[in-house]
Structure 1
Amino acid sequence: MAMKNINQYFILKDKRKLGFAEYGEIDGFPIIYYHGSQSSRLEMHYDLSFVSDNNLRIISIDRPGHGISDFNQSGTILSFAEDVKELIEHLGINIFSVAGMSAGAPFVLGLTYLFPENIYKVSIISGFAPFNKKSKQYLSKKVKIILSLAKSFPFLLKIILRLQAKQIVSNPKKTLRNFLKIMSEPDQEVLKNDLVMKVIESMFKEAFKNGSKGVAYEISNLLVNSWGFELSNIKVPVTFWHGEKDYNVPFEWAELMTSEINQAHLNKYSEEGHLIIFKHAREIFTNLR
């Protein structure tokens, strides 16, 4: 039975609310999906035919402080893995695959590191890598400034994101246009699709539903600091999907992570950018079955 239930939540043991959405078949093969930065559980393809065609059940989860998930002031990448495990057990799921987009990558890998016995396969799409001297050299100037600011002057990032959250309420389309200017030429072509823009606007607005605190904390406290585990300790097969013309997250980051994870494979798209998920969702998700 096909479904699309986007406004669900679960109360964790510590009484925090964890928001999630489900897409596809109630009895389909479960795939846990992790959204990118400044996004939410509403980050999903506008055309869900690939989900029904392949009998999939995609569960997309708001991270703490995003969408309808409560903020966790002491949250880590691995504590979120524990949150997700609670939800999965509540839903009665034992074996599943995991996929993550962009900044969702560390959280996908954190779950994989902690609970390898429950995970069949992993896909990382345009994925964020550990932020260190080796990875920083491949960043575009603009992205390097933003991430360095987040690491060294987190209070400034908080101010910027607080302002952005207010602008989203007053003029979401203009705010989104400014936010997306940084993207590459292939991505600008993808963004000409009104259906893509509708998805991006809804997931973006939902991310800041309860302010910018969760987004700012995730970037400054989690993404650019130690993730709490080593990639070499990942024991589940991981497939990386990455465009060589990705200006947001450099293609070299996928190469770095592929070289560090034992059972890793990299699929590259030479003429594409960051938003490959909108062109290749069917291929990416069916590979996780």
Structure 2
Amino acid sequence: MIRGVVEPARLGQVVLPDGRRLGWAEWGPEDGVPVLLCPGGATSRSMGFGGDVVGQLGVRLVSVDRPGLGASDPSPGRTLDAFARDIGRFVEARRLSGVAAVGFSAGAPFALACAAAGVVRGVAVVAGTDELANPVFAEVLAPDVRRLVETVASDPERAEVFFSGFSAEAMWSFVIPTLADVDRAVYTDPVFERVYRRAMDEAFSQGPAGYARDTVLTMSPWPFDPGTLRVPVDLWYGARDTSTVHSPDFGASLAGRLPAAERRVLPEAGGSLLWTHAEEILRSLLERTRGR
């Protein structure tokens, strides 16, 4: 079942101390437990999940556009650490407390960066992009992904120029043929496809620079050591996920590096489990972060 692809209940922007704006969207009760969503690559704040369960779970889901995407102002040369600082200021400005995070796909490194910075009290990584530049993956990455990771390492500016050649339409045409049947059924569902494609259009509304910077960061070494994270981290993967840019081992090596990780590989699921298993993901995150 595709869970909760619904319109945001609230939209807005927060002005940071340097004058930049971060765009946000919310679902669920305003007095609910705040859960920050770090969206997948090339999508915007409007692509939520679990819209049909956040109310009963008491979750206030908050999705934030990363700089240069959607309704958030650009921040050229930004880093994962800089994003975490932005979110720290965002949380303070919106007076959110006890925030947990969900990082989907390419949003996973951003959510973990927030945990490393002490901004969130727990993370659910869902079909998350792993640290692809980690030497443990050197021999197991798909050849085209390995070449991109090597280009990012040797010439990040050239890599960023390459990624700037993508558009919302190009991303759709690139992603859909690579999906397993279980995921293609989700992404091409008429309601889901409309929301997803709109989120991609919004992500590229300022041009491709925001997406390009995001992608360079997801293919670069992480600036934090996962072994230093003391917050609980749920790792959720679908065994039928065919993406070459999520995790080559479905989070197995990452689970070994995170002191408080629980890893789940669902045999019947694909990479779209954020929408097919929303309630399970949110319930576990709430349970594991309760009282922290």
Q: TM-score band, normalised by the shorter chain?
A: 0.7 to 0.9
How far 1:16 moved relative to its partner?
A: 0.9
Residue 197 (str. 1) matches residue 193 (str. 2) = yes
Distance, in Å, in 1 between the alignment partners of 2:270 and 2:33 is: 29
SS of the aligned residue for 2:178 comes to coil
Q: Which segment drifts farther, 80-89 or 246-255?
A: 246-255
Measured against aligned partners, the alpha-carbon deviations of 1:85-127 in whole angstroms (never above 9, x if no partner) come to 1111111112121111011111111111111xx6333100011
Measured against aligned partners, the alpha-carbon deviations of 1:20-50 in whole angstroms (never above 9, x if no partner) come to 11111111111011011111212213x6111
Q: Which segment drifts farther, 270-279 or 79-88?
A: 270-279
Residue 241 (str. 1) matches residue 243 (str. 2) = no
1:69 paired residue number: 72
How far 1:196 moved relative to its partner?
A: 1.9
Residue 34 (str. 1) matches residue 31 (str. 2) = no
Distance, in Å, in 1 between the alignment partners of 2:271 and 2:135 is: 22
Distance, in Å, in 1 between the alignment partners of 2:138 and 2:106 is: 15
Letter in 2 for 1:111: C
Distance, in Å, in 1 between the alignment partners of 2:113 and 2:145 is: 24
Residue 216 (str. 1) matches residue 218 (str. 2) = no
Counting aligned pairs with the same residue, the percent is 25
Distance, in Å, in 2 between the alignment partners of 1:6 and 1:145 is: 41
Alignment of structure 1 residues 74-223 onto 2, 5 Å: 74-115=77-118, 119-130=120-131, 131-152=133-154, 154=156, 157-158=159-160, 160-165=162-167, 168=168, 172=169, 176-220=172-216, 222-223=217-218
SS of the aligned residue for 1:8 comes to strand
Letter in 1 for 2:264: N
How far 1:255 moved relative to its partner?
A: 0.8
Residue 285 (str. 1) matches residue 282 (str. 2) = yes
How far 1:244 moved relative to its partner?
A: 1.8
Residue 25 (str. 1) matches residue 23 (str. 2) = no
Distance, in Å, in 2 between the alignment partners of 1:189 and 1:67 is: 26
Consecutive unaligned residues in structure 1, runs of 5 or more: none
Letter in 1 for 2:183: D
Q: What TM-score do you get using the length of structure 2 for normalisation?
A: 0.87
SS of the aligned residue for 2:85 comes to helix
SS of the aligned residue for 1:32 comes to strand
Retained in 1: the 8 A contact 2:77–2:213? no
1:257 paired residue number: 254
SS of the aligned residue for 1:49 comes to coil
Q: 1:77 to 1:241 in 2, by over 3 A?
A: same
Measured against aligned partners, the alpha-carbon deviations of 1:194-243 in whole angstroms (never above 9, x if no partner) come to 122122201111110100111111212x2222221100000101110001
Distance, in Å, in 2 between the alignment partners of 1:226 and 1:142 is: 18
Consecutive unaligned residues in structure 2, runs of 5 or more: 1-6, 287-292
How far 1:154 moved relative to its partner?
A: 4.7
Aligned pair partner of 2:13 in 3, 6, 9: 9
Q: 1:159 to 1:79 in 2, by over 3 A?
A: closer
SS of the aligned residue for 1:4 comes to coil
